[in-house]
């Protein structure tokens, strides 16, 4: 089986269409379903992973099935391996890595995946969490940990990726965060 190194996302304005898009994506190629659910503001998000060509075929089929309900579709090839862990919140946290924390927020759930990928590829950081749209009005955010200079570089790279496609809401770096701030991650 080819390497699983790509992710495809489709964000829709209709929950009903979302189920049809999910079905079309899964039938189009040998991909793994990561997420298919309603998200805030009455939208629906479908995310799949697999090899680059399979994900591309799934995203194309899903986009065709989406019709007028399509908000956004993305494919990210050569995905950093820790991105999927941060989405599923299975990251093992080393308390020593919590020397500084970075946060990047985007207008869309799909765009935060690409932002997180750019951030973790730019510096030696740990992706703590990628939050997709729930209780955020359809937005996304990523939490990043590491030493201050690495977190600053990662946040700058991720924010630049978001700014290039117009999805950046906000960003920040917190040096020496209080232990209480992120105790749920330690």
Count of other CB atoms within 10 angstroms of residue 148 = 15
For residue 46, list its beta bridge partners.
Answer: 10, 36
Is 175 contained in some domain? yes
Residues 171, 92 share a domain: yes
Residues 165, 139 share a domain: yes
Q: For the chain, how many structural domains are there in total?
A: 2
Q: How confident is residue 43, by pLDDT bands cut at 50, 70 and 90?
A: confident
Q: How confident is residue 48, by pLDDT bands cut at 50, 70 and 90?
A: very high
Model pTM? 0.83
Domain span at residue 162 reads: 81-185
Is 24 contained in some domain? yes
User: Strand 126-132 to strand 100-106: parallel, antiparallel, or no bridges (unpaired)?
Assistant: unpaired
**DSSP 8-state code for residue 92:** P
Residues 165, 89 share a domain: yes
Q: How confident is residue 18, by pLDDT bands cut at 50, 70 and 90?
A: very high
Is 1 contained in some domain? no
Residues 50, 89 share a domain: no
Q: pLDDT tens-digit profile of 114-135?
A: 999 999 999 999 998 888 766 5
CA distance 139 to 159: 14
Structure tokens at 38: 């309603």
CA distance 149 to 87: 24
Q: pLDDT tens-digit profile of 71-93?
A: 989 998 888 888 877 777 777 77
CATH number at residue 30: 3.30.70.1710
Give the lowest-confidence range in 13-17, 96-100, 136-140, 175-179.
136-140
């Amino acid at each position: 089986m080819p390497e699983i190194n790509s992710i495809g996302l489709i964000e829709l304005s209709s929950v009903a269409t979302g189920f049809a898009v999910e079905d079309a994506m899964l039938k189009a190629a040998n991909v793994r379903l990561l997420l298919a659910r309603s998200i805030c503001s009455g939208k629906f998000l479908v995310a799949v992973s697999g090899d680059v060509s399979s994900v591309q075929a799934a995203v194309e089929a899903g986009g065709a099935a989406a019709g007028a309900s399509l908000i956004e579709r993305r494919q990210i090839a050569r995905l950093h391996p820790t991105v999927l862990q941060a989405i599923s919140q299975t990251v093992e946290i080393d308390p020593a890595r919590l020397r500084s924390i970075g946060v990047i927020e985007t207008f869309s759930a799909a765009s935060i995946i690409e932002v997180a990928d750019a951030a973790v590829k730019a510096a030696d950081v740990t992706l703590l969490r990628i939050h997709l749209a729930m209780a955020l009005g359809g937005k996304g955010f990523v939490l990043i940990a590491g030493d201050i200079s690495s977190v600053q570089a990662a946040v700058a790279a991720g924010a630049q990726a978001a700014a290039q496609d117009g999805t950046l809401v906000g960003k920040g770096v917190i040096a020496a965060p209080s232990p209480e701030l992120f105790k749920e991650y330690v």
